[in-house]
Amino acid sequence: MKTDTIPLNERIIVALDVAGDRQAREVVKKCEGHCRYFKVGLQLFMANWFHTVDWIVDRGHKVMLDLKFFDIPETVKLAVEQVNSRGVSMATIHGNDPIIRAAVEAATSMKLLAVTVLTSFGEDDMREMGMTQSVEDLVYYRARRALDLGCDGVVSSGLEAGRLRRGLGGKLLIVTPGIRPGANVEDGDDQKRVVTAGRAIGDGADYVVVGRPITQAADPAAVIASMQEEIAARSE
């Protein structure tokens, strides 16, 4: 739910896109003085299952489990039930209507986020697939459908956050990856639809997910502090 009561130290979700538990713990320890929300994705989860998730939760922090569940509805339902007891705050799913319904039915205390269109996917990709609608239109359609089916929110780029907030109102939780300082895509970066943290929050996102700009920085805490200043300025 869109709200101004989200603490500043939870607005940024640090993406622990690292190879294993040791690296993940190092990043958390460098960042936890400034933020208390961390994302565990497929790479790290496959390396050690729930081990890092449990460790983060035990330290009093929040976890976004980004596994993007996509399978037959019963399998997704059972997978979500497995996550319910792990203290995860948010989890991501892909899916058509039956899959989303199954996930929503199974979720208890955690919030479910439907992935709309990956931020590595751009307008050229749409054309290559023979799709005539824009990425923004596709994101909006999928977000509206997910909300209607009971999802708590969506994952979308900051480029679509404004339209989602205006069109779908305050019920929708918007989590935005593809965040870059200055919104510059570096050489070799696989993200195509990027914005700054300040713009994403200013346009209506509730949280921003930030990986490499923080985890590969010489001073991760300084990067977080700078982004938080940006976010605070746009949230006033």
Angstrom distance (rounded) from CA 194 to CA 52: 28
Say yes or no to pLDDT of 52 above 90: yes
Supply the pTM of this predicted model.
0.90
- The pLDDT score that the predictor gives to residue 68 is 96
Q: Which of 68, 77, 171, 192 is catalytic?
A: 68
- Answer whether residue 105 is part of any domain: yes
Say yes or no to pLDDT of 189 above 60: no
Angstrom distance (rounded) from CA 211 to CA 38: 10
- Answer whether residue 85 is part of any domain: yes
- The pLDDT score that the predictor gives to residue 188 is 42
Lowest-confidence segment of 1-10, 53-62, 99-108 by average pLDDT:
1-10
% of the chain at pLDDT higher than 90: 75
- Answer whether residue 12 is part of any domain: no
The CB density around residue 36, as the number of other CB atoms within 10 Å, is: 19
CATH number, domain with residue 180 = 3.20.20.70
The number of residues making up the chain comes to: 236
Give residue 82's pLDDT band: very low, low, confident or very high (50, 70, 90).
Answer: very high
Beta strands (DSSP E) in the chain are 12-15, 37-41, 62-69, 90-93, 111-115, 153-155, 173-176, 207-210
Angstrom distance (rounded) from CA 60 to CA 235: 25
| Residue at token pair 């040791």 | 22
- Answer whether residue 36 is part of any domain: no
- Answer whether residue 108 is part of any domain: yes
As a whole number, mean pLDDT of residues 91-103 equals 94
pLDDT in tens, 125-172: 656 767 767 888 888 999 999 999 999 999 998 889 999 999 999 989
Give the chain's domain count.
1
Give residue 5's pLDDT band: very low, low, confident or very high (50, 70, 90).
Answer: confident
Q: Burial level of 112, CB count in 10 A (0-12/13-18/19+)?
A: buried
Angstrom distance (rounded) from CA 63 to CA 40: 7
Give residue 121's pLDDT band: very low, low, confident or very high (50, 70, 90).
Answer: low
Give residue 195's pLDDT band: very low, low, confident or very high (50, 70, 90).
Answer: confident
Which residues, 6+ apart, have CB-to-CB distance to 211 below 8 Å?
14, 15, 17, 39, 177
Asked if 2 is an active-site residue, the reply is no
Range of 101's domain? 69-206+213-235
Say yes or no to pLDDT of 186 above 80: no
- Answer whether residue 95 is part of any domain: yes
